[in-house]
Amino acid sequence: MMAGLLSTQYNSTLSKLKLLRNNPALSVLTNTQRKYSSKDGAGIEYLHRSVVPTMHYQKSLPRLPVPKLEDTIQRYLAAQRPLLNEEQYSNTEKVAQDFQSGVGKQLHEELVALDKKNKHTSYISAPWFDMYLSARESVVLNFNPFMSFNPDPKPEYNDQLVRATNMVCSAIRFMKTLSAGLLEPEVFHLNPAKSDTDSFKRLIRWVPPSISWFGAYMVNAYPLDMSQYFRLFNSTRIPKYKRDELLTGDKGRHLLIIRRGNLYVFDVLDRDGNLIKPAEVQAHLKYILTDPTQAPSFPLGVLTSENRDTWAGLRKKLLDAGNGEALHLVDTALFCLCLDEEVMRDHIHISHNMLHGDGCNRWYDKSFSIILAKDGQAAINFEHSWGDGVAVLRFQNEVFKDTTEKPVVGPGSQPAAVDSSSAVCRIEFKLNEELKAGIRKAKENFQAAVSKLTIDAMEFKKGGKEQLKKKKLSPDAIAQLAFQMGFLQQYGQMVATYESCSTAAFKHGRTETIRPATIHTKRCAKAFVEQPGQHTVEQLQGLLNECSKYHGQLTKEAAMGQGFDRHLFAMRYLANSKGMALPSFYQDPAYAAINHNILSTSTLTSPAVSLGGFAPVVPDGFGVGYGVHDEWIGCNVSSYPARNVT
């Protein structure tokens, strides 16, 4: 009964959520109405001391709904309509209807039954982990995205050593705040004047965790799933044959630092788990930055860019050669800090460097890496299987706020007079000829892959969110419409388009897909691109309004777990896990085409983030990272040679 009540109450009001969608593969929920309160007196160890325990709402979060099969089929066909001609659509419609009344009905019922047996999680969680961990392609370009930090507003604090020290200390403060249960819970406030107040927090903390979600819901606040957060620290993706594993521990007290392809570690926590003095962190980082050791001929990090089976085989050989302890240090490190030698020339250079870099000064398997260029330009590159960026963005926002508002060292700070040569350990690996050959090959493969990638960016300065809202148009809908128009103008067709939307409002929610290519965007794009001068201003405005309204509906459905992509994916996964023959629905060329996402898009706006980016998900695709700001719109677009990004 509780679940039924929860589902009914939730669905009746969640439609009010004006959720902003996210990054690439990335999937982040952001909004200016989400604030994190910092209580004074948090001290050096913590960012703040939340009145409400971090995981207070987790137990009572609503469960991700399994959509009705007929709704899924209807939404799927609506998304196929603009992509197919009459004959193709008629065939796809018949295949879909047969699926709905036949094998699909059976699979849906089994999925619902399975979901009811697993009330501790969501129906998509296990299949989604499996999809990521079973993928054998390199994580570089195919999965890991990046989000770059804005520069520190005080230019002298962008010095590489100063910023690295501040970021490491803020990151550890975040980790300690999280593990102590003192990090403010992640909540989407629709009425912050009521819910984001000290009085409400003092009240809600006494509501039992089993029903606390309802208390927040009563004041129009929606707590978000925080189950991914524990994977942020001491976490690594371990390559294994056929399917990788995630390793997360909490024993490691050391940080992994990479410079010139050399790997170093030092303890940032003392034996009692307290952060060492910031001046000591600064001293150890200075020691690493001034270490004269040359770049190794065989940098180990490049192996993490390999095909996963290849890397799994080479890792086994590394272990056999006696490198178990060295690898353990890497795997259990709190996180990875990459100190680069280059100065960033422009946005494009930043994108290439933070998305892939040179392959040698990275360990792409760590849950996340903070990358700091010579000029203090910084970014986070993260491994995607463990989470969708919700946790990473929160971390990035907190670190940016803490380093800019309460830096622990400044340009005049002196590093501590400590013996860094004994505190810092440079990791040495034992390499035989076979391993050296593997590293050489990995370097070649890496260069071949990244040399094909082109990135270009633009900033549209003639208006943004404010202007569009005045015209009662959805800013996201208009940005997506622009991508449809651009593609139509350049290639003369409509293609499968993917926009990521977070379902973090549900327990163990991941993402859902918004399908921005619709019959409305097709009609509108054709009117502007192929039929200039054939419509009145009023008619064109009407077409824009239709696009905006329908895109808003799709966004709302996706955020409520009512898209069609994850449902169809879960049923296919279920059929596969039972050893069934693949239903004909999944063999329809139209199903393959709509999942060959030529336009892969994701949006992100945050005071901490300058730009985000990712590679295309198919060889003939585009990776479109964009942000609609108050007065301007920014796009960061990637492609391979099959397409012209400029």
Are 160 and 374 in contact by the 8 Å Cβ rule? The answer is: yes
Are 609 and 633 in contact by the 8 Å Cβ rule? The answer is: no
Which H or E element spans position 104? Answer: helix 103-117
Are 606 and 30 in contact by the 8 Å Cβ rule? The answer is: yes
Q: How far apart are CA 507 and CA 376, in angstroms?
A: 38
254-259 vs 262-267, strand pairing mode: antiparallel
Which H or E element spans position 266? Answer: strand 262-267
**Which residue in the list 56, 352, 356, 384 is annotated as catalytic?**
384
Q: Smallest Cα–Cα separation from 442: which of 430, 453, 434? A: 434
Segments in 376-462 forming alpha helices (H): 390-405, 420-423, 433-450
Q: How far apart are CA 540 and CA 542, in angstroms?
A: 5
CA dihedral 494, 500, 505, 510 (to 10 degrees): 120
Q: How far apart are CA 149 and CA 158, in angstroms?
A: 11
Q: Smallest Cα–Cα separation from 7: which of 276, 287, 213, 156? A: 213
Quick one: tokens of 388? 């969708």
Q: How far apart are CA 289 and CA 292, in angstroms?
A: 9
Q: What is the DSSP letter of 381?
A: E
| Torsion over CA: 493, 494, 496, 499 (sign) | positive
Let me know if 383 is exposed, middle or buried by CB neighbors in 10 A (0-12, 13-18, 19+): buried
Mark residue 463 as left, alpha or beta (left: phi above 0; alpha: psi -120 to 50; beta: remaining): left
Are 255 and 285 in contact by the 8 Å Cβ rule? The answer is: no
Q: How far out from the chain centre does Cα 311 lie?
A: 23
Q: Could you tell me which residues come within 8 angstroms of residue 269 by beta carbon, excluding any fewer than 6 positions away?
A: 172, 253, 275, 276, 334
Amino acid identity of residue 583, one-letter, is P
* Active-site residue flag, 384: yes
* Beta bridge mates, 372: 339, 378
Which residue has 């995981």 as its token pair? 55
Positions marked catalytic: 384
